[in-house]
Amino acid sequence: METRLREHARTLRMSDVVDLYLEVEFEDRLQYVTDLLSMVIDGRKNRRAERLIRKAGFPNTDTLTGYDFSPVTFPNGLDRRSLADLNFIQDKENVLMVGAVGTGKTRLAISLGVKACLAGKTVKFHRAVDLCNTLLELYPAGKAGKVIRDITQADLFILDEVGYVPFSKAAAEMLFSVISNSYENQSIITTSNLEFGRWNEIFGDERLTAALIDRLVHHAHILTFSGPSYRLRQALSRTEHDEDAILKDATLT
């Protein structure tokens, strides 16, 4: 019997049924078939999400669970709930996250990206400096096409850490051309430690900076992050623990 099931499942491109049919509890026929199909659908969704997360190129798979929103100030027209619901992706709107180092910009951007993948959206993540280096390396040999296509075809493009390293003129121009291609076709989350009034310091050229700001900032939701660095807080609390341990050792001896 299982051979026939296997054949039918293959014909219907539902080979997952063979792995799942024994896992479903049987109460009645309708319930059994319905639950079996639900399991097939869930399994496919999960596998698609895993594939999307792998393709996105995130440095880790942070989630919103445990994220502390207290450093984040929301603009009019966007709140925590609508951000987490990813409405901005549906509406092809941009989000700019600006604030000091270690305040949780990258973590929030990745968490939203992972959530988008779980919802079946395509995402591409790049640190700005890495993307520029990749483009500078591949472009002259005519090999940048795939990198650019992966970005422009994604529902969400995350450009992380604009502002830490100044770009060369060639790199800034390439970045601009990628962003122009995706303008209004997708959402872009940009994170930066520099307010955009100072972006000409990293892009050099005033005209190009103005055009980039026009693409990334106008019509964007701007979230500002403030407060002390979480990295610093974590390091300090580790030091405090170490000090506690040292004190405890000292009292024991």
Beta carbon of residue 104, minimum distance to Mg ion (angstroms, whole number):
8
Which residues are paired to 98 by β-bridges? 192, 224
With CB cut-offs between 5 and 8 Å by kind, which of ligand ADP, Mg ion, none does residue 68 bind?
ligand ADP
Give residues with Cβ within 8 angstroms of 188, minimum separation 6: 94, 95, 156, 157, 158, 159, 179, 182, 216
64 vs 213 by CB, closer to ligand ADP:
64
Beta carbon of residue 66, minimum distance to ligand ADP (angstroms, whole number):
6
Beta carbon of residue 176, minimum distance to ligand ADP (angstroms, whole number):
23
Q: What is the CA radius of gyration of the chain?
A: 24
63 vs 177 by CB, closer to ligand ADP:
63
Give residues with Cβ within 8 angstroms of 123, minimum separation 6: 52, 56, 58, 113, 116, 117, 154, 155, 156, 157, 158
Residue numbers 87-126 binding Mg ion by CB under 5 A: 106
47 vs 231 by CB, closer to ligand ADP:
231
Q: Judge contact between 116 and 155, C-beta under 8 A.
A: yes
21 vs 69 by CB, closer to ligand ADP:
69
7 vs 68 by CB, closer to ligand ADP:
68
Residues that bind ligand ADP (CB under 6 A): 67-68, 71, 101-107, 191, 230-231
Cα torsion 80, 82, 88, 94 to 10°: value is: -20
Q: Judge contact between 171 and 135, C-beta under 8 A.
A: yes
Distance (Å, whole) CA 99 – CA 105: 8
Beta carbon of residue 23, minimum distance to Mg ion (angstroms, whole number):
42
Count of C-beta atoms within a 10 Å radius of residue 146: 9
Beta carbon of residue 251, minimum distance to ligand ADP (angstroms, whole number):
32
106 vs 186 by CB, closer to ligand ADP:
106
Beta carbon of residue 102, minimum distance to Mg ion (angstroms, whole number):
8
With CB cut-offs between 5 and 8 Å by kind, which of ligand ADP, Mg ion, none does residue 67 bind?
ligand ADP
Residue labelled with tokens 């989630």: 63
Query: Contact positions toward Mg ion, by CB under 5 A?
Result: 106
